[in-house]
Amino acid sequence: MNIQGVSGKTRPFYQPDMALLARLSASSEPSVENSRQILARAGEVIDLADIAVVMNTLLSPVGPEIYKDIRNTGAALRQKLFGNLVVPMAPVEISNTCASDCLFCGWRVSNREMKRMRMPADLAMLQVEYLVDAGIDYIEFVSGDDITVVRDLLPQLIDQTRKLFGDRGRQGKVSFCTLALTELQYSELKSAGADSMVVWQETYDPAVFASHVKGGPKAFGISDEWKVDRSGDGCRFRIESQERAMRAGLEVALGSMLGLNPDICSEFLATVDHARYLAHTYGISPEHPLIIGMPIWNAITTSSTDLRQSGGFNITSVFAELAALYLISLPWEGTWVFPNCRVPMATQIEAARVGGAFTSTEVKLGPGGYLPSIIARLRQTGKESSAIEQKAWEILKEQPGGVEELQKALDQREQFIHHYHSHDDYRRAMSQVGLELSPSLVISPESASASF
């Protein structure tokens, strides 16, 4: 199957032709009739020019006329590829200390209102154990651009989580979402037991990237020696990160933060083009999927330092349709679209129903976010929790209080505002729309041998 994109054909690493994609975006006129004809070809590899027509129609004043068409088309394709199963994941944040200065993010180094903390290994693993015991088999470690934590602590946590899965008799997957790394560094994390990496591009447009990313590792990239490369191109280094990780044997996740670039269509096309290139060049399969993330530009927790401008298109209003269109654009069992909890749960679940095979469930952020739930559970069962409470407050460097005060203090250290619901709440809500949370997707013998 030929799924080669329009970009990256002759370069050692993929780089999008943003000028070409912008022209496709600008020249594709909204059309309800044409969009419906294009959607009727779902299951084929649809040209990017045609995807642009559907995207521009979706984002136009006539967009509501095709909402149902997109959702129904996505839901039918999703049912064919994945049945009713959805793989849940949960992140464990280990540090909100960051050396990069990204104007859209609450963790940016210049945000003096953000209170910083790093999780010690024992408290991080306590949270991993809590999530694994809740039935979650996909754990993602998350850090700001904190080189010390990623270099020294992350390999330990990956190794310990891999052993925890082994002790529980479960396969499990261990992922990490950090600054972009070199191939050598990805190889070292693979050797420690990691399965996959997550890097959201934020924007594929170099000019938009430069206008928002003002300094630190994200602005320049890093060397094998964990030093910021002051002569480097951070946008290019970040786009190339998935290929370096795949060469190191890791699965990858990619995605643009739709809304950061005013040209939403060209960013969507760049994500699709990038995914097609990776699938064609390196191969994907149901066992080793390519995850398509859907981060959106939410408010940050320190509202007085939030630099978002009012106005712009409301991405949340078409979040489910975007999930469906991602799957329609990448119609393979090895492509897992990833709706997340930056939108309300009902929106997130609808996005999973019409396009997503992978989603976050219980997500409590920032670093240490699950500790109050762990403490509450220990208290309910008559077990000792004072040592955990004392250590948590010591790390926070705040006056000790109750569990509610602890939760509030931890939530204030998250980078973006998220929506919280328990894993069991997600399970019940998913069931109501015919979806079932599963540690993995049931793979047919035919699918198991497929590669794209």
What is 348-397 written as a DSSP string?
HHHHHHHTBSEEE-S---STTTTHHHHHHHHHHTT---HHHHHHHHHHHT
Structure tokens at 350: 């609808």
Rounded CA-CA distance 443/452 in Å is: 15
How many angstroms separate the most distant Cα atoms in the chain? 65
How far is Cα 255 from Cα 270, in angstroms, rounded to an integer? Answer: 9
Q: Is the dihedral of CA 423, 424, 429, 433 positive or negative?
A: positive
pLDDT at 6: 43
241 three-class SS: helix
Q: What pLDDT is stored for residue 377 in this prediction?
A: 92
Residue with tokens 């699918």: 447
Distance between CA 130 and CA 423 in Å, rounded?
11
Q: Which residues contact 37 (CB under 8 A, 6 or more apart)?
A: none
CB-count exposure of residue 451 (10 Å: 0-12, 13-18, 19+)? middle
Burial of 324 (0-12, 13-18, 19+ CB in 10 A): buried
Which structure tokens are listed for 226?
A: 């964990």
* Residues 6 or more apart in contact with residue 340 via CB below 8 angstroms: 293, 294, 295, 348, 359, 360, 363
- The backbone region for 433, taken as left when phi is positive above 0, alpha when psi lies in -120 to 50, beta otherwise, is alpha
Spatial contact of 127 and 371, defined as CB atoms under 8 Å apart? yes
CATH class of 86-367+413-440: alpha beta
The token pair at 359 is 């989603």
Among the listed residues 364, 365, 363, 368, the one whose alpha carbon sits nearest the alpha carbon of residue 397 = 368
pLDDT computed for residue 9 by the predictor: 44
Positive or negative: CA dihedral 92, 81, 278, 173: positive
The rounded distance, in Å, linking the Cα atoms of 168 and 162 is 10
Burial 295-317 (b: 16+ CB within 10 A, else e): bbbbebbbeeebeeeeeeeebee
pLDDT of residue 440: 80
Digitized pLDDT (tens) for each residue of the chain, 452 residues in all: 233 344 444 457 999 999 999 999 999 999 999 999 999 999 999 999 999 999 999 999 999 999 999 999 999 999 999 999 999 999 999 999 999 999 999 999 999 999 999 999 999 999 999 999 999 999 999 999 999 999 999 999 999 999 999 999 999 999 999 999 999 999 999 999 999 999 999 999 999 999 999 999 999 999 999 999 999 999 999 999 999 999 999 999 999 999 899 999 999 999 999 999 999 999 999 999 999 999 999 999 999 999 988 778 999 999 999 999 999 999 999 999 999 999 999 999 999 999 999 999 999 888 999 999 999 999 999 999 999 999 999 999 999 999 999 999 999 999 999 999 999 999 999 999 999 999 887 544 443 333 32
- Of the candidates 229, 141, 221, the residue with the CA atom closest to the CA atom of residue 177: 141
What gap in Å lies between CA 157 and CA 165, rounded to an integer?
12
**Whether the Cβ atoms of residue 217 and residue 147 lie closer than 8 Å to each other:** yes
Compute φ and ψ for 221, nearest 5 degrees: 90, 175
pTM: 0.93
**Separation of CA 105 from chain center:** 15
Q: Residue 341: which of 439, 239, 429 has the closest Cα?
A: 429
Q: What is the DSSP letter of 166?
A: H
Tell me what pLDDT residue 449 has.
35
Nearby residues of 91 by Cβ (< 8 Å), 6 or more positions away: 139, 140, 141, 142, 177, 360, 363, 365
228: three-class secondary structure by DSSP: strand
Helix axes 386-396, 121-133, angle to 10 degrees: 120
- For residue 282, CA distances in Å to 176, 289, 323, 440 come to 20, 11, 23, 22
Coil, helix or strand for 445? helix
